[in-house]
Structure 1
Amino acid sequence: MGMNAKIKKENELDQHDINDIDLVISIGGDSTYLKAAGIILNNELPIYGINSDPTRRTGALCNESLIFQEREQQIPVIIEQILAGEYSSFYRNRAWFTIENPVTGMQTNKLCLNEVFAAEKDVSCTSMYRVQVDGRDMGKFKSSGLLIGTGTGSSGWLYSARQVTNQEVSTIQSIIGTYDNSELVRLNKIFQYLSCIQVNSNISGLISSNNVFPYDSDKLYYLVREGYVSDPSSYTWRAEGYCSMIKVISEIIDGSVQIDGYFKYDIGIGDVFTVESCPQKSLRCIRLNKQYEIKGLPSQQQSQQEIQI
């Protein structure tokens, strides 16, 4: 086809492998895509994702789904369209993680597409840390960990951590029903009606969908996960919210920072790291103008439209 290609396994991929290439194609699932994206520093080097097994993987970041029996027909079509320029580009904002070793002074940086998570390695232990958001001291927290997500990550782990469940909607209905306030009584009757027509799932879905923000947003969202609440009046607004930069002072004893599920950095008491929005290093992604449709499965574009509805 008049081109040179490098084929690398996921666990063998290195920064040097992409120094002289024009396009990265990730074939696997979201984890493969995230690892490939993590070594792309040039914001003009495009990436295209192919979900190699849609029966086992969600492939939310992937542009195309591949069926084993179709691979010999599908992949050449994809390559030909890309070479012909039949695609469009869009950019996903990323976050920039920075930590400095207090002993050696060596600084470690890492780009993040989805989320940064910091916690004790033993998940049964309480994680303690202080947080500064855009220069404002939010105080000390005790929780099961701290989650910081991008717009892309807001529909993944961060979405699961923030989502409102059907049971929570039902609980709110029950609580409202115990008050005598006329307005609350009216609301409770509405909720009872809605419950009767079984739309609690729609209510929870509608509320939770508001937690998702655009993949090109220059904002991040931080969440103190399962935090210990000593003062409810101040905890709520301090424990989560949008930001451009967050600084974390660790009081974690034997912890780890995990980025996009594959990169890990050990942390302990006194370690300090920052996570900041980094639009100048946004990830260039491409989508084909006409996608290859697999028999029996909707195209990725159709699936995304169904989710948006």
Structure 2
Amino acid sequence: MFLRKIASQGSPTRSLSFIGNLQLHRKLSRNSVGSWSPSEASTFSPKKALVLTKLSRYEFEKLRHKNLDENQLEDALRKRGSDYNMLLYHHTLHKNCEAMVKSILEEKNIETKVVTRFDYNESNINWADVIFTAGGDGTFLLGASKIHDPTKTIIGFNSDPTRSEGYLCLPKKYSNNIKNAINKLLQGKFRWLFRKRIRVTLIGDKIYDVPVELHDQQLNKLENRFLEISEDRDEVHKSEESIKNKRILPVKALNEVFIGEALSARVSYYELAVDGSERTKVKSSGLCVSTGTGSTSWTFNINKLPHQSVSDLMQLIQEETRLPIDYKDQRLIDRITAKFNNNLIFGPEIALMGYTIRDSLSDGTLPVPGERKPRGFAKQLNIRSRCFDASLVIDGGLSYSFNDGTVAILDIVDEDALRTVVLNEP
């Protein structure tokens, strides 16, 4: 938790010794984004605010079972082993947060509109000066996915801090003190934080296939409605780009891009080029590519070492070298484990991607392990699919088909950065 908290605040001083020269790339991107300038640092005076609210589990179940009245829904949930009362309780917590955000913004004479994911479209986004999200990290990621203007700010409130950390949202203490947070914003007691995002360019024959929205996969009709909205802004360029079989996806990855076979038991086969290098054939359990923001999330958990592994390695080193290493010293194990895991995290404003090859395999015809490091950093990645039924998934929410012959180019571009805030603390 401590590591993730620091990373979410964008600390630029974190050591990343395992990749050597990363220190050369620690220049933050604040001055190279959009129309930002130092004079804007303490200015926040929106006239219109859009509040994107999450779809609570209770609302989700109501939508799935439209034909059931409240008593029938309760019975159905209880038979399935779900706690109806708890679903209702947490739904109420969320709605209270949503109502409080709206009420306080209106008290400040800010015109406010509340929308769900199904009405979160380009028209409403363009209408607003600022986007607030009421939910958790999933709601924040959805909100971020459709913001293409680097001058548009997004700010998240964790509506239920008892159930989620909400690393992308304002600190938990503001969930119960929304007015204080909004006052700080209006008083300029914050700093801008520009979170880098990954731009994905697809090259191939079926790059305009409709993606799958994973969050609402069970709500078929509603899911399709959301997808139509997701693709609206892309239609303008479809005719021209389809001639070239090249397409820049209309969403950017704030956390990570994952590439791999849809069936997790099947080996993922692809060719990988890092920063213009020759493509290397890779067989693995998939490829995970993260931003600095995402380095605290899935990619962190893929790479982190547990205490047991560190202890075992220390014991083996002691046995092989006969050095006086106390592999039973718990405090020493804790320090080494924390230092290694700490080095996996980098700041959200750093213009690099961290990539991880999951469970890399070798069958004798591919390069032996060690020729391609299982993780590293890059400014650009070029991946050609040799998969049978693969997906390219953005932020765990939107899945694009990525099968044999399709190429994905992943870049960090300054103008794609997402404008967020960090509140000043005493």
Q: Match of 2:416, SS? A: strand
- C-alpha distance in structure 2 between counterparts of 1:161 and 1:149, whole Å: 11
* Shift of residue 106, structure 1, vs aligned partner: 5.8
- Which string of whole-angstrom CA distances, capped at 9 and with x for unpartnered residues, describes residues 61-89 of structure 1? 11132688x4xxx3344334333433321
- C-alpha distance in structure 2 between counterparts of 1:190 and 1:178, whole Å: 9
The within-5 A match list for 1:107-118 is 107-109=247-249, 110-118=251-259
Picking from 279, 285, 289, the partner of 1:144 is 285
Aligned residue number for residue 170 of structure 1: 311
Letter in 1 for 2:159: S
Moved more, 228-237 or 50-59: 228-237
Residues 77 and 175 (structure 1), Cα distance of their counterparts in 2 relative to 1, 3 Å cut: closer
Q: Match of 2:111, SS? A: coil
- C-alpha distance in structure 1 between counterparts of 2:255 and 2:305, whole Å: 21
Letter in 2 for 1:32: T
Aligned residue number for residue 396 of structure 2: 261
* Shift of residue 10, structure 1, vs aligned partner: 3.1
Residues 67 and 76 (structure 1), Cα distance of their counterparts in 2 relative to 1, 3 Å cut: closer
TM-score, structure 1 as length reference: 0.83
Aligned residue number for residue 102 of structure 1: 205
The within-5 A match list for 1:1-309 is 1-65=108-172, 70=176, 74-102=177-205, 104=242, 105=245, 107-109=247-249, 110-179=251-320, 184-186=321-323, 189-192=324-327, 195-229=328-362, 235=370, 237-289=372-424
Residues 32 and 149 (structure 1), Cα distance of their counterparts in 2 relative to 1, 3 Å cut: same
Residues 227 and 79 (structure 1), Cα distance of their counterparts in 2 relative to 1, 3 Å cut: same
Aligned length: 279
- C-alpha distance in structure 2 between counterparts of 1:14 and 1:236, whole Å: 45
Q: Match of 2:393, SS? A: strand
- Structure 2 gaps of 5+ residues are 1-107, 207-241
- Structure 1 gaps of 5+ residues are 292-309
1:92–1:152 contact (8 Å) kept in structure 2: yes
Identity %: 28
* Shift of residue 287, structure 1, vs aligned partner: 2.5
- Say which structure is richer in helix: 2
Residues 166 and 11 (structure 1), Cα distance of their counterparts in 2 relative to 1, 3 Å cut: farther
Residues 86 and 136 (structure 1), Cα distance of their counterparts in 2 relative to 1, 3 Å cut: same
- C-alpha distance in structure 1 between counterparts of 2:291 and 2:330, whole Å: 36
Q: Match of 2:182, SS? A: helix
- C-alpha distance in structure 2 between counterparts of 1:216 and 1:262, whole Å: 22
TM-score, structure 2 as length reference: 0.61
2:197–2:418 contact (8 Å) kept in structure 1: yes
2:201–2:410 contact (8 Å) kept in structure 1: yes
Residues 170 and 11 (structure 1), Cα distance of their counterparts in 2 relative to 1, 3 Å cut: farther
Aligned residue number for residue 301 of structure 1: none
Residues 208 and 230 (structure 1), Cα distance of their counterparts in 2 relative to 1, 3 Å cut: farther
- C-alpha distance in structure 2 between counterparts of 1:273 and 1:49, whole Å: 30
Q: Match of 2:292, SS? A: coil
- Which string of whole-angstrom CA distances, capped at 9 and with x for unpartnered residues, describes residues 195-235 of structure 1? 23444233212111011111111111111111114578653
* CA RMSD across the alignment: 2.2
- Which string of whole-angstrom CA distances, capped at 9 and with x for unpartnered residues, describes residues 96-116 of structure 1? 111134155362413111100
Letter in 2 for 1:223: T
* Shift of residue 11, structure 1, vs aligned partner: 4.4
